[in-house]
Amino acid sequence: MKDLHSFGWYAARVSPHLPKEAFKPVPTRLFGGLAYFLVALAGIFSVSLFNLPFWANTLIAMAIGLCFAGMCFLGHEILHGTVVRKPFLRDFLGGVAFSSIGIGPKLWRKWHNMTHHVHTQHEHNDPDTWSTAEFISKRPLLAFFFRQPNFIRMIGYIIFLTFNFTLHSTRMFFVFFKEFKPNKQPLVLLELLLPWATWIVLLFVVGPVKWVFIFLIPAAIANFIMSSYIATNHNLNPQMEVNDPLANSLSVTVPKWVNVLHFNFSYHTEHHLFPAMSSKYYPLVKEKIKEFWPERYHEMPMSRAMLILLKTPRPYLKEDELVDMFNGKVYSVLGKGLNPEKVESHKKLNLKQVLLPSKK
Ligand SMILES: [Zn+2]
């Protein structure tokens, strides 16, 4: 693990080469968020008030889903403090932006800013890193799923991406709630209940069929888009004790218009160097990283990263290897032997060797 550096080490070397305005908040990002909010609202009203044909409702649901995803990307930025500095405004806008997933701003900042960013890809301390095969093997339901052939796991994984972000954030509420001071807990609970109460009230107001178009399908689309990015951010990288963003993060490339729609969320390694910087400046950070440490930087097209995610197993065998719990095949991770051009297993283990309960 020698030759690894913390994000602060990299940031200190890149900072002098960035313009001063890169370290200031960029409130104009809110115009994008407002556009998403208004389009989503118009969609929700159109489906609710009129009896539109099925195809029109489906198209509108898709548009609302894209808006929900865009708002979540902006919510991530807002709650890092890169858009507005005033805490109340930051939390209010962040809460509205994340309302489709039901994530409260205080929970998100504790979970994402203060835990995931500080302990990225630490096997025990990062709540967002994937589990080890040893952990999964002790949980019968999870182990059953991971012992299925890859084809079934692939279908399951794609379906999983449509609800993963909502499921994980709800789980995080129960993980982190007790860590808030007792006088803060009612507010944290309110921030969870308020968005959910809104969606549930809407269910009774518009009825279940229209609700599917104004919430369920859009939330599934937003989940899929967010979860796809989140999966490519770290899941192909090693777990490690030192939080080195060049080793434990992956930046994906997408067409420029996608970056505009998703507030440059594809620049993920850059984000881990400068989480408190507006993503508007990440292309400049990328330039510098590629100039200083081209051999350490991980980057690939989003489509290729998604394909590799489908071709490789998710459970970690150890920090730099993934293991297929169906056949014992072991795969390397990025920077440790995984070849993005040609994904293949480099060894095969007897499953009993890797502490998995024997198949019956
Ligand atoms: Zn972040």
- For residue 268, the CA-to-ligand 1 centroid distance in Å is 8
CA of 350 to the centre of ligand 1 (A): 38
265-270 average pLDDT score = 97
CA of 78 to the centre of ligand 1 (A): 10
How close is the Cα of 112 to the center of ligand 1, in Å?
Answer: 6
For ligand 1, the distance from its centroid to the CA atom of residue 86, given in whole angstroms, is: 18
Q: Give the distance (Å) from ligand 1 centre to CA of residue 111.
A: 10
The pTM of the whole model exceeds 0.95: no
Distance in Å, CA 117 to ligand 1 centroid: 7
Asked if residues 285 and 18 have their Cβ atoms less than 8 Å apart, the reply is yes
* Average pLDDT score over residue span 192-204: 96
* Contacting residues for 231 by C-beta, under 8 A, at least 6 apart: 161, 306, 309
- What's the gap in Å between 114 CA and the centre of ligand 1? 10
pLDDT at 354: 63
Instruction: Give 148-181 pLDDT, tens digit per residue.
Output: 999 999 999 999 999 999 999 999 999 999 999 9
Task: Give which of 47, 43, 48, 89 is closest to 67, Cα–Cα.
Answer: 43
Is pLDDT of 287 > 90? yes
Tell me the helices (H) and strands (E) count for the chain, helix number first: 17, 6
Coil, strand, or helix at residue 106?
helix
Q: Which amino acid does the sequence have at 44?
A: I
Asked if residue 277 lies in contact with residue 22, where contact means CB atoms within 8 angstroms, the answer is yes
Ligand 1 centroid to Cα of residue 232, in Å, is 14
What is the band of 350 on the pLDDT scale with cuts at 50, 70, 90? confident
Cβ atoms 348, 327 nearer than 8 A: yes
One-letter amino acid for residue 119 of the chain: H
Mind listing the pLDDT tens digit for each residue in 100-150?
999 999 999 999 999 999 999 999 999 999 999 999 999 999 999 999 999
Question: Distance, CA 119 to ligand 1 centroid (Å)?
Answer: 12
Kindly give the distance from the C-alpha atom of residue 257 to the centroid of ligand 1, in angstroms, as a whole number.
Answer: 21
> What DSSP state is assigned to residue 39?
H
- Residue 2's pLDDT is 55
Cα 93-168-278 angle, rounded to 5 deg: 40
Distance CA 17, CA 26 (A): 19
**Number of Cβ within a 10 Å radius of residue 170:** 15
CB atoms within 10 A of CB 287: 14
80 Cα to the center of ligand 1, angstroms: 7
**What amino acid occupies position 321?**
E
Per this entry, what is the length of the chain? 360
Nearest to 100 by CA among 48, 54, 165, 8: 165
Query: Is residue 1 pLDDT above 50, yes or no?
Result: no
Report the separation in Å between the CA atom of 30 and the middle of ligand 1, taken as the mean of its atom positions: 17
Of the chain, the percentage scoring pLDDT greater than 70 comes to 97
Phi/psi at 68 (nearest 5 deg)? -60, -45
